[in-house]
Amino acid sequence: MSLHFLVGSAVGSAACNTPEALRADDVAYSSHGGRGSFFAEAPQYGANLTLLPQDEGDASPACLDGSKYGFYFNPSKTGSTKWTISIEGGGWCYDEDECFERSKMALGSSKGWAAQAGCGCMNTVGDTIDKDCNCIYMPYGDGASFSGYRSKPWAVPGQPGEYLTFRGIKNLDATLDWAFAHGMDKATEFVLTGGSAGGLSTFLHADRVSARLRKEAPDVKKVVAAPVVGYFLDHDNYKHTSGVPNTPSWKQANYTTWMKYIYKMQNLTFGSDGGLTAACEQKHPDAPGLCFMSPHMVDVVKTPLFVFNSKYDSWQLGNEFQSGWTTKEEQQGVLQYGNDFLGQFKAVQADSKNGAFITSCICHGCPWFEATTLNIDDKSVTQHYAAWMAGSTTGAASIHVDDRLPNGDGAIKHPQCAAFPSAQAEAASA
């Protein structure tokens, strides 16, 4: 099974806000293969691309280049009333220059999207993934995790006559409108999921989607969210550098600074036209941009969450921490990053409705689907997730954390887990 759309940027590379790295993300994410799941292959059958109408004027759904937004719907083959919506990843564009680059690619334009794609469910049956549900796969198209909205085109500095369209939250809402008109009003179980930037989308929009389901699907009994590698830390980079938007120095800034600029650029707000939650605005009235970051908003999410992540997430090490681990100092920094992850992750653990599987594998496209690779307490990722879905585990019993050093301190050997010198890890931690 290929997890190409979750691999992201290479560990230790420059930050992903360069044209070269953005193109790498485009290749990695934008095949729109529609797997929509991180454990099972997508169905062999494929759904046609549905492009949404742009008949709402300035409130119409659109990609960055103004092209129509769309999605792929794979209906159940057995009449199931279970639903999954899976949101594609692909990083973010951190300033207007990057968004303009993205608007020429499949991550910012629907003009080259595949005619068909599949989608894999994240519902469960027994102790495994249910392979049959009604599944909508949402390709990326806006560069801000489906959260921004500006009614009018936004000018690109230094590019006369070039404009961007920021309609991420409209893309999400219009997709939900279509889903409810085509059977989701009969849903009895629903899972919202997504990987990487789609994982952040899952955190951000779980309650928005849940509220609509509770209102428009009267028979729904279970609504949960399963964000995959979407818990991106509020963390400085290794060298503590900074930069200026729309200049070459911007790639030297830290992730928190980048995300705060997106908040302003794409006009992320907290009302019906905004992708952020009012509860988080109340929590951070003096720094509302923090609500675009999962550690700062997860404690106000009412929807039950099962979080899949690595405490040594390779994308975060390469693009937030912006360092490899060649020297002892860098290795110490990586180990500290893992400790910092667990510190910020306490917000998830504090809520008894949540579950999690946190691996020590250095990965972003993690081998979640492997039956034994990442096991904790002699159970696979899918078994722990299915037990939480079924209510067989609750509270602290649903939180599974590999407390070892990177890659299980050398015990986890898998090509999707970037190598780390376990002996040096021990020395660095001494």
- 149-178 pLDDT, tens digit per residue, is 999 999 999 999 999 999 999 999 999 999
pLDDT at 275 over 70: yes
Give me the chain's average pLDDT, please. 90
Res 1: pLDDT: 23
Mean pLDDT over residues 350-361, rounded? 98
Mean pLDDT over residues 375-391, rounded? 96
Res 423: pLDDT: 55
pLDDT at 336 over 90: yes
b/e per residue 342-355 (b: at least 16 CB within 10 A): eebbebbbeeeebb
What gap in Å lies between CA 129 and CA 123, rounded to an integer? 6
Mean pLDDT over residues 42-59, rounded? 85
pLDDT at 2 over 50: no
Share of the chain above pLDDT 70, in %: 88
What gap in Å lies between CA 38 and CA 41, rounded to an integer? 8
Res 46: pLDDT: 75
Band of the pLDDT at 16, cuts 50, 70, 90? Answer: very low
Res 45: pLDDT: 55
User: Cβ contacts of residue 17 below 8 Å, gap of 6+?
Assistant: 93, 94, 95, 98, 250, 251, 258
* Least confident piece of the model among 13-17, 304-308, 421-425: 13-17
pLDDT at 217 over 60: yes
- 184-210 pLDDT, tens digit per residue, is 999 999 999 999 999 999 999 999 999
- 77-122 pLDDT, tens digit per residue, is 999 999 999 999 999 999 999 999 999 999 999 999 999 988 889 9
Listed residue (67, 68, 65, 69) closest to 93, CA to CA: 65
pLDDT at 21 over 60: no
Mean pLDDT over residues 395-413, rounded? 96
Res 426: pLDDT: 57
Res 257: pLDDT: 96
What gap in Å lies between CA 219 and CA 211, rounded to an integer? 14
What gap in Å lies between CA 270 and CA 18, rounded to an integer? 30
Res 354: pLDDT: 98
pLDDT at 7 over 50: no
**Where does 4-429 sit in CATH, by number?**
3.40.50
Mean pLDDT over residues 322-336, rounded? 95
